[in-house]
A and B are shown apart, each in its own frame.
Chain A
């Protein structure tokens, strides 16, 4: 039995990045993954970020070609071939999973396939598919078991009609009418994909706005755009009853307007439940340890990702920080640096870029206007629309805007909010600027190449100072 410095349970973007960083730091490392075959990469790679973005790319291409005649590209009979799309998506996923495997080998990380559990001080047990057990001995454990789809208790999931985000990824045909519960990142993404694949789409959200955690102006713009594209959007609405059979799904939707609640029945071909994710912490051997797991299943950690149990760290979707791949990876690196005794800096969660790959894309970092006001800042904002940006016109994508939220006192950058083309790429500028504690002036002094979409960021900075140039 080998003695490890670090055993990582779970090979998602939290786990596998932690393992690589650990090995690179000179620590003897193993990773445990319970996916039946050697498919490393976790939710992100197999059922999350990567496959959805492949589907999205197909949707983008489809839309671009359909609108091709507007810019002189006559692509006749543009059509979607779901089977080919699935094959392409499968290739992308497989290529990336292979990449993770290769990185494990390259960094001499032992991969143990099976279900991992804490098994007493300094021990991790691995239960293989065939039921055989193996115990690993280790000085430190990093729990990175991730999350699964959250199901609403009153809705029976049926593989044909009522789907979660895992199941919808495997769709062989385009749903005729897709109803999506939940207008967060996952829900709006699939809604945007299938709308462009040709489905009729109805998006239902309990909160009064779509993307409720985004800045209110961004939420409003997104809703406006979804509706313009032909989506039905019901906010302040909840599904209270669902009946599914081979023919389709029937559901009751209650919508609140002021004090009044109205009810309607919607019939659709498919229902996607995208009401959230749940941490996977039921079966990790927490019993008898000092791990604190709260009623939502979340593991409590300190600023260095340490759990209550000495030598056990937790990262990614099982802790109460933004559930995003890049957060999981950063937390993995932080945990390893702490294990390696490097005196790392805790993560500043205010600077996590939030990305939603709906169409138009939405990305933000820092505080929304409202949150900044609530935090007591004297807020000023600068908004600049993509419609006034040359590159956006060239790309035929002029929807959306960039919004800067800043503090009047020092012009401190408090938040950057983008809705529009390539928002998820553009947000990095704001993230870096805020990491460096820049003020608006630095953004505005930075020369932005022309013509690019990034000019919108500089212009928003000008606007925040009261002198936008191109409007």
Chain B
């Protein structure tokens, strides 16, 4: 039996995904829950497991296609044998054709958000005096089911379809016939304005007007890269970035880690320096709630939950999974969550909802060896800490003038000067320093 696989809903706010790789070829046997293809959304990369077992007989989306959720992207045959690709029965062929239209249509008109499609569908062409006639209303209103199908197929203008319902209202049969006839694709091909909706305006980075040479080549930016670019520029334009830099002695943390490492490992948890840092950050956030707040217009929104985002570098981008309610976790709990999130981030198994809702961000990129970095705030948060490498450095004891060799790291906090001042920022960082230097 042929069974369709749709683009899954990857989280509440995600409406579409771009297929980045097919992990199975036509004719391959796919087990249930075995990764079938990879997608990327503006939030995460993810492998999509097959909902059923079967043989992959059709791939309805190409690598690079952006497809709305619930659109059919693959067809499996649950009875076929490996290598066998039974032809679709006439009826399902028609269906498959419709689905193909769906995916390619979605690719070209990908950004036809549901809301826009509905808005357009519902905006009747005004007749006499701007008041739509009853016919026009009925025609453009259409039925809920038709609106849903239109949305899925990126059809924004229902008036191009002949309606057979009351007063020419477009029915399910009408829109299905329209899609199956391919008129939908033609309409998009010849008339860019139908189905393709302009992107919401973003602060456009000035184009340098590049003239590519012979040995140059372009590569599409990818949704995540594009999202990061947009977020960073927007953050710069939003927050008044100011910075403070502290050197922190990690001797106590080293000792503690050495002491606890084995015990943690027994429990299957790798104890990293990041865990200590997140714990110290959480304690400091509890002591300084304003650093955990967000600015909303001219009001400060104090967040009840302390959710710390931990930046994880990926091959070509960066992702920030969030450890929720960190203040309620022990060091063990924090270490376990971070391990889990980081591991899943690297293997593309994060859910988009796991990268949302952060109230503060820690970017521990010290592993690459920098002295320190100056981070950009992750909106709408108020501050972010970036850590440098933990290195042995020469430290002068402030009381005895003794010169010592100690493992230290340099933390840089970028904070929004609209909401906190240098004094608060420094007290906050000092709190973190005291926690880490006095670890028991």
Contacts and interface: CB of A to CB of B under 8 A. Distances in A.
A438 interface: yes
A442 B144 CA distance: 8
Nearest to A410: B148
Contact of A438 (B91, B143, B149): B143
A176 interface: no
Contact of B146 (A345, A376, A437): A437
Given A410-B149, A442-B144, A437 B172 contact: yes
6 contacts: A411-B148, A436-B143, A436-B144, A437-B171, A438-B143, A438-B145
Nearest to B171: A437
Contacts of B143: 436-438
A378 B72 CA distance: 13
Interface in A120-156: none
Interface of A: 345, 376, 378, 409-412, 436-439, 441-442
Pairs A-B, 8 closest by C-beta atoms: A437-B143, A437-B145, A410-B148, A439-B144, A438-B144, A442-B144, A412-B145, A439-B145
Nearest to B151: A410
A111 to B, nearest CB: 34
Interface string B171-182: 110000000000
Given A376-B91, A412-B172, 15 more contacts: A345-B166, A378-B4, A410-B148, A410-B152, A412-B145, A412-B148, A437-B144, A437-B146, A437-B171, A437-B172, A438-B143, A438-B144, A438-B145, A439-B144, A441-B144
Contacts of A437: 143-146, 171-172
Nearest to A411: B148
B377 to A, nearest CB: 37
B210 to A, nearest CB: 44
B70 interface: yes
A139 B63 CA distance: 65
Nearest to B152: A410
Contacts of B146: 437
B121 to A, nearest CB: 14
Nearest to A376: B91
B381 to A, nearest CB: 32
Nearest to B166: A345
A252 B4 CA distance: 51
Among B143, B146, B165, B171, which residue has the most Cβ atoms of chain A within 10 A? B143
Interface residues of B, number: 15
Nearest to B3: A378
Contacts of A441: 144
Contacts of A410: 145, 148-149, 152
Nearest to B146: A437
Contacts of B172: 412, 437
A182 to B, nearest CB: 36
Nearest to A440: B144
Interface in B82-100: 91
Nearest to A439: B144
Contacts of B166: 345
A409 B4 CA distance: 10
A465 to B, nearest CB: 13
A22 to B, nearest CB: 22
A410 B165 CA distance: 20
Given A437-B171, A437-B172, A409 B70 contact: yes
Contacts of A378: 4
Contacts of B149: 410
A437 B70 CA distance: 20
A378 to B, nearest CB: 8
Contacts of B152: 410
Interface string B1-22: 0001000000000000000000
Nearest to B169: A437
Most buried by B among A410, A412, A441: A410
Contacts of A376: 91
Contacts of B164: 345
A404 B143 CA distance: 19
Interface string B135-159: 0000000011110110010000000
A376 B88 CA distance: 14
B79 to A, nearest CB: 16
Contacts of B148: 410-412, 439
A258 to B, nearest CB: 28
Nearest to B2: A376
Contacts of A412: 145, 148, 172
A436 B149 CA distance: 15
A334 to B, nearest CB: 14
A345 B169 CA distance: 12
Nearest to B149: A410
B101 to A, nearest CB: 15
A441 B91 CA distance: 28
Interface string B37-70: 0000000000000000000000000000000001
Nearest to A413: B145
Contacts of B4: 378
A437 B148 CA distance: 11
Contacts of B171: 437
A321 to B, nearest CB: 19
A217 B4 CA distance: 27
A376 B145 CA distance: 18
A300 to B, nearest CB: 24
A436 B166 CA distance: 10
Interface string B116-149: 0000000000000000000000000001111011
A437 B149 CA distance: 11
A436 B141 CA distance: 11
Contacts of A439: 144-145, 148
B96 to A, nearest CB: 13
A410 B151 CA distance: 10
A437 B169 CA distance: 11
Which of B4, B91, B148, B171 has the most CB atoms of chain A within a 10 A radius of its CB? B148
Contacts of B144: 436-439, 441-442
B114 to A, nearest CB: 12
Contacts of B145: 410, 412, 437-439
A40 B166 CA distance: 33
A410 B146 CA distance: 9
Contacts of A438: 143-145
B256 to A, nearest CB: 46
A377 to B, nearest CB: 11
Contacts of B91: 376
A98 to B, nearest CB: 35
Contacts of B70: 409
Contacts of A436: 143-144
Contacts of A442: 144
Most buried by B among A345, A436, A437, A442: A437
A437 B150 CA distance: 14
B95 to A, nearest CB: 8
A442 B145 CA distance: 10
A412 B146 CA distance: 10
A437 B158 CA distance: 16
B151 to A, nearest CB: 9
A437 B170 CA distance: 11
A376 B164 CA distance: 24
Nearest to A445: B144
A438 B164 CA distance: 17
Nearest to B71: A409
Interface in B150-209: 152, 164-166, 171-172
A411 B148 CA distance: 9
B44 to A, nearest CB: 24
B153 to A, nearest CB: 11
* Residue among B91, B144, B172 with most chain A CB within 10 A: B144
A438 B4 CA distance: 24
Nearest to A434: B145
A438 B172 CA distance: 11
Contacts of A345: 164-166
A311 B237 CA distance: 77
A463 B438 CA distance: 55
A439 B149 CA distance: 11
